[in-house]
């Protein structure tokens, strides 16, 4: 089947009514266990209202959100896809690798190291901000939770040092900001290998958000390391970037996935905000991910 046939959101004539029902897949979102603003239960409820039929929970470096999501999903018949978004580095820049269907018993111990690293990193950013003259207080964050830069941005906002999250990234914690601290060393290759060892399908998240190299040049190295898929459909990818990624997936025989990378509603919602199911992806994409996961076991 062509890539186009797998999508429900294609730019067809408005007079053609496409069947709605197969296009209800959401393979990338965050909860309060990382830097999302909705609890897993709230996320599930919103997904149901948006017509999602299969929802992946892909928090940064933690899988503790799965259980609450599964419990909340049962009465709605919503399928929860267990996932993770691993924070890794490539060329010393942040690279995110999604993993679908990891064995939690195998992944939990290595993840504990990653989560603790995120707590150390958050504290280092707090220390840098204090040195710069912008002291902040982070909320209490349990060990199961993976702190990220959005938490720092919110603390800067709460302390009155900035007037928006965006300003916090621009002035302090963006990739070149004076209070930015990179992840503790863990390469993309190591992340891909870890996911495969744990039975998870590794997928390069939002390749065109990567700032450390050219997608076409990096992809073969990731494939060599065991990458099995690419997140083709993402709100920050242009249509032409999606076409390039579709072709690369064909060339390297990779799975295609997609998701809204939803982190919760904006404080001041407006038309055009990213929302769950805004990409209208076909459930057939998920069938292929499941087949790939089965091949790893
Ligand atoms: P971290 O993994 O802790 O470095 O945080 C990455 C997260 O920060 C991403 O998933 C986004 O949610 C958010 N983020 C990154 N850059 C920006 C930015 N310039 N403005 C707002 N949020 C951002
Ligand atoms: Zn995030
Ligand atoms: Fe990401
Ligand atoms: Fe994400």
Of 57, 46, 19, 55, the residue nearest 275 (C-alpha): 46
Q: What is the pLDDT of residue 10?
A: 43
How many whole angstroms from 28 Cα to the centroid of ligand 3? 9
DSSP string, 53-118: SEEEE--BS--TTHHHHHHHHGGGTPEEEEEEEEEEEETTEEEEEEEES--HHHHHHHHHHHHHHH
Per-residue pLDDT at 7 exceeds 60: no
Residue 117 in contact with ligand 1 by CB distance below 6 A: no
Instruction: Report pLDDT digits (tens) over 14-65.
Output: 444 444 446 799 999 999 999 999 999 999 999 999 999 999 999 999 999 9
Average pLDDT (4-21) is 46
How many whole angstroms from 13 Cα to the centroid of ligand 3? 33
Residue 174 in contact with ligand 1 by CB distance below 6 A: yes
Report the DSSP beta bridge partners of residue 281.
7, 25
Residue 149 in contact with ligand 1 by CB distance below 6 A: yes
How many whole angstroms from 96 Cα to the centroid of ligand 3? 5
Give the number of other Cβ atoms within 10 Å of residue 169's Cβ: 19
pTM tops 0.75, yes or no: yes
Residues in the chain: 297
Residue 61 in contact with ligand 1 by CB distance below 6 A: no
Q: What is the pLDDT of residue 15?
A: 46
- Ligand nearest the Cα atom of residue 210: 3
What would the two tokens of residue 270 be?
């407006």
DSSP 73: H
Instruction: Report pLDDT digits (tens) over 242-257.
Output: 999 999 999 999 999 9
By DSSP bridging, strand 93-100 and strand 79-90 are: antiparallel
Of 17, 89, 15, 81, the residue nearest 47 (C-alpha): 81
Report the DSSP beta bridge partners of residue 93.
90
- Is residue 6 very low, low, confident or very high in pLDDT (cuts 50, 70, 90)? low
How far is it, in rounded angstroms, from Cα 233 to Cα 253?
A: 17
- Is residue 189 very low, low, confident or very high in pLDDT (cuts 50, 70, 90)? very high
What's the chain's average pLDDT?
A: 93
- Residue 6: strand, helix, or coil: helix
Higher per-residue confidence, 6 vs 99: 99
Instruction: Report pLDDT digits (tens) over 209-234.
Output: 999 999 999 999 999 999 999 999 99
Residue 148 in contact with ligand 1 by CB distance below 6 A: yes
- Side-chain-side CA neighbours of 55 within 13 Å: the count stands at 35
**80 backbone φψ class: left, alpha, beta (φ>0; ψ -120 to 50):** beta
**Probe target for ligand 1 pocket from 149, 164, 173, 261, with the most ligand atoms within 8 Å of CB:** 149
Residue 164 in contact with ligand 1 by CB distance below 6 A: no
What would the two tokens of residue 147 be?
């702190």
**61 backbone φψ class: left, alpha, beta (φ>0; ψ -120 to 50):** left
């Amino acid at each position: 089947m062509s890539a186009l046939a797998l999508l429900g959101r294609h730019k067809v004539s408005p007079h053609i009514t496409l069947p709605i029902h197969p296009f209800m897949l959401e393979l990338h979102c965050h909860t309060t266990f990382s830097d999302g603003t909705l609890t897993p239960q709230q996320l599930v409820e919103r997904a149901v209202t948006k017509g999602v039929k299969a929802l992946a929970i892909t928090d940064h470096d933690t899988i503790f959100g799965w259980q609450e999501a599964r419990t909340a999903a049962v009465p709605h018949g919503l399928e929860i896809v267990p996932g993770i978004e691993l924070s890794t580095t490539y060329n010393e820049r942040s690279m995110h690798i999604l993993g679908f269907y990891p064995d939690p018993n195998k992944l939990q111990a290595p993840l504990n190291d990653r989560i603790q690293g995120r707590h150390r990193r958050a504290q280092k950013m707090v220390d840098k901000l204090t040195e710069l003259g912008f002291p902040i207080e982070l909320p209490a964050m349990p060990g199961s939770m993976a702190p990220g830069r959005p938490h720092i941005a919110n603390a800067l906002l709460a302390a009155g040092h900035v007037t928006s999250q965006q300003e916090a990234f621009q002035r302090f914690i963006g990739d070149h900001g004076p209070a930015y601290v990179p992840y503790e060393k863990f390469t993309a290759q190591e992340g891909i290998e870890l996911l495969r060892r744990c039975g998870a399908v590794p997928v390069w998240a939002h390749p065109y958000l990567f700032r450390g190299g050219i997608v076409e040049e990096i992809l073969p190295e990731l494939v060599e390391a065991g990458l099995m898929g690419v997140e083709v459909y993402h709100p920050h990818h242009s249509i032409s970037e999606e076409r390039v990624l579709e072709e690369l997936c064909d060339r390297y025989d990779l799975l295609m996935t997609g998701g809204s990378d939803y982190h919760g509603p904006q404080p001041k919602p407006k038309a055009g905000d990213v929302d769950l199911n805004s990409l209208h992806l076909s459930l057939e994409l998920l069938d292929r991910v499941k087949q790939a996961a089965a091949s790893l076991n």
